[in-house]
Amino acid sequence: GMTAAFAGILQATRINEIEPSYVVISGLELKAIAAAVVGGVALTGGRGTILGMVLGAALIDTVDNVQVLMNAP
């Protein structure tokens, strides 16, 4: 719960606004789920580490940034 609240605060400062429709439009919830799965969190719940989740998020973000730099669709 505490880490989710912290992540929400960080995301709100990143996008400079708090609007629920932005999350739905931008697809951030799918990136969050993908980062969790890549980081080793079980979809059934109860298994995974915070370090794995952070590494998964870093990998997803890196891939996204490389696509932007390469002008990939």
50-69 and 28-38 helices, crossing angle to 10°: 120
Residue with tokens 């912290």: 6
CA 63, 58, 52, 44 torsion-angle sign: negative
The pTM for the full model equals 0.61
Q: Which residues lie closer than 8 Å to 22 by C-beta, 6 or more apart?
A: 15, 28
pLDDT at position 18 over 70: no
Instruction: List pLDDT tens digits, range 26-55.
Output: 677 788 888 888 888 888 877 888 898 889
Q: What is the pLDDT of residue 48?
A: 86
